[in-house]
């Protein structure tokens, strides 16, 4: 049985105030093509479907088009809400959509949502947990002691009682850590300070695959089968080194789980260029449509820098100045600090060498030494 693991679509998001409607549409078409080509049995979308709790008209249209394409291809889709979504808005029409193969586990109902699929090896149990906070679980399970996010997720899994002798997958949208180590994060994620909202990966012990959302860089958390697939597009310049992927998950019989990253090809890739303004302009590729984060190393801000950069990089999204201090200046500053700690005779000797191009002779030092000591006294 095959699944395509996606998350953090953030439909309606902008990159440094640049509209991404066409870029997101391009990526969703790739998701549909991946699901069709690999003949998956379901598409898993692990939260943050929208970027805002009140999505834009364009964002709603994009999701409608994507879900319609999956329905026409007869590919079931399972979605959970993330911290950016309004659970109630995302879950609108969930009972009606279920008949078309769209399963929305958007609103927390007091427990894990449970779906059972079948293949030649028997049942596959898919569990769905939308983004939750401990207060919600305390209200749903008053008999449990819930003091943290880890306690909350662990209590919900215990209450669901999965049969781990069968195959089990779970979708969740939380900040998952392993052994106190946090996943690699970036600027476009909404995280609390520290790890107050973390869920320890140990709570997912027994699951054959854990499809996570919330973190935008693709990565595993502890064990290889506990994975963030990451966002399909870069949503901040800090993601320039990310290799964006979906994850194709394939389950054979119990214990046989394989996964592979499927890379995305963005409409307008994000790149970072650095150097003096004139060099960046001269080296620009003709007709470049990439999103560009430019770092200028000129010692002073060149006139009309942004306009000149946009003449060759029309999709410039960020321009910053990071002047490179010449090495000679740094050496001079170090030398000045050394001289401040030196005696008067050494300071005069350094001055003499600079002016005359030669050091003091032994006779000259002998004459000057008592004079300098008397002055310093």
Tens of pLDDT along the chain (377 residues)? Answer: 999 999 999 999 999 999 999 999 999 999 999 999 999 999 999 999 999 999 999 999 999 999 999 999 999 999 999 999 999 999 999 999 999 999 999 999 999 999 999 999 999 999 999 999 999 999 999 999 999 999 999 999 999 999 999 999 999 999 999 988 888 888 777 655 445 689 999 999 999 999 999 999 999 999 999 999 999 999 999 999 999 999 999 999 999 999 999 999 999 999 999 999 999 999 999 999 999 999 999 988 888 999 999 999 999 999 998 887 665 555 556 556 555 656 778 878 877 776 666 788 888 888 888 888 877 76
Q: Beta strand 291-296 with 316-321: parallel, antiparallel or unpaired?
A: parallel
Query: What is the signed CA dihedral for 63, 69, 71, 73, rounded to 10 degrees?
Result: -150
What are the residues whose beta carbons fall under 8 Å from the beta carbon of 185, sequence distance 6 or more? 191, 215, 216, 217
Question: What is the predicted pLDDT for the residue at 103?
Answer: 97
Task: Say if residues 10 and 48 touch (Cβ distance below 8 Å).
Answer: yes
Question: What is the predicted pLDDT for the residue at 329?
Answer: 53
> Which two three-digit tokens encode residue 146?
């819930």
Rounded to a whole number of angstroms, the distance between the first and last alpha carbons of the chain is: 89
Enumerate the β-bridge partners of residue 331: none
Alpha carbon distance 167, 253 (integer Å): 8
Alpha carbon distance 200, 349 (integer Å): 65
Question: What is the predicted pLDDT for the residue at 351?
Answer: 73
Query: What is the signed CA dihedral for 238, 47, 165, 225, rounded to 10 degrees?
Result: -10
What are the residues whose beta carbons fall under 8 Å from the beta carbon of 370, sequence distance 6 or more? none
Task: Say if residues 191 and 228 touch (Cβ distance below 8 Å).
Answer: no
Question: What is the predicted pLDDT for the residue at 326?
Answer: 61
**CATH topology for the 2-263 domain:** Purple Acid Phosphatase; chain A, domain 2 (3.60.21)
The backbone torsions φ and ψ at residue 123, rounded to the nearest 5 degrees and listed phi first, read -75, 150
185 closest CA partner among 129, 148, 235, 121:
235
Alpha helices in the chain (DSSP H): 21-37, 57-72, 87-90, 94-98, 134-140, 149-160, 277-283, 305-312, 327-341, 344-356, 362-376
Alpha carbon distance 194, 177 (integer Å): 12
| Lateral strand order in the sheet of 122-129 | 113-119, 122-129, 167-173, 209-213, 223-228, 219-221
Question: What is the predicted pLDDT for the residue at 68?
Answer: 97
Q: Beta strand 18-19 with 42-46: parallel, antiparallel or unpaired?
A: unpaired
Q: How far is CA 29 from CA 6, 67, 182, 232, 365, in A?
A: 13, 11, 32, 12, 82
Alpha carbon distance 75, 42 (integer Å): 6
Question: What is the predicted pLDDT for the residue at 194?
Answer: 47
Residue ranges of the domains in the chain? 2-263, 270-321, 333-376
Q: What is the pTM of this model?
A: 0.83
């Amino acid at each position: 049985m095959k699944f395509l693991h996606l998350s953090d679509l953030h439909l309606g998001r902008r990159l440094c105030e640049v509209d991404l409607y066409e870029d997101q549409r391009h990526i969703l078409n790739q998701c549909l093509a991946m699901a069709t080509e690999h003949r998956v049995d379901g598409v898993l979308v692990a939260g943050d479907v929208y970027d805002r709790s009140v999505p834009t008209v364009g964002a709603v249209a994009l999701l409608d088009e994507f879900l319609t394409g999956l329905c026409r291809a007869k590919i079931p889709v399972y979605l959970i809400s993330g911290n950016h979504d309004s659970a109630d808005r995302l879950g609108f029409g969930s009972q009606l959509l279920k008949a078309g193969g769209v399963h929305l586990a958007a609103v927390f109902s007091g427990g894990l949502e449970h779906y059972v699929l079948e293949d030649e090896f028997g049942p596959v149990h898919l569990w769905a947990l939308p983004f939750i906070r401990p207060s919600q679980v305390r209200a749903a399970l008053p008999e449990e002691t819930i003091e943290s996010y880890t306690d909350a997720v662990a209590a919900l899994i215990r209450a669901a009682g999965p049969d781990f002798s069968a195959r089990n997958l779970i979708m969740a949208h939380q900040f998952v850590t392993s052994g106190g180590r946090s996943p690699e994060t970036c600027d476009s994620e909404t995280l609390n300070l520290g790890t107050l909202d973390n869920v320890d990966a140990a709570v997912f012990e027994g699951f054959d695959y854990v499809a996570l959302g919330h973190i935008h860089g693709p990565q595993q958390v502890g064990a290889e089968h506990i994975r963030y697939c990451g966002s399909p597009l870069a949503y901040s310049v800090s993601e320039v080194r990310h290799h964006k992927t979906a994850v194709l998950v394939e389950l054979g019989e119990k214990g046989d789980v394989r996964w592979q990253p499927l890379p995305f090809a963005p409409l307008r890739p994000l790149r970072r260029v650095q150097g003096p303004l004139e060099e960046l302009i001269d080296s620009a590729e003709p007709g470049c449509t990439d999103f560009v984060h430019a770092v200028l190393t000129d010692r002073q801000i060149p006139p009309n820098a942004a306009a000149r950069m946009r003449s060759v990089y029309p999709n410039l999204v960020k321009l910053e100045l990071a002047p490179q201090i010449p090495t000679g200046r740094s050496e001079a500053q170090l030398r000045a600090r050394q001289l401040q700690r030196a005696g008067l005779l050494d300071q005069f000797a350094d001055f003499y060498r600079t002016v005359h191009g030669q050091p003091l002779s032994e006779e000259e030092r002998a004459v000057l030494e008592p004079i300098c000591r008397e002055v310093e006294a």
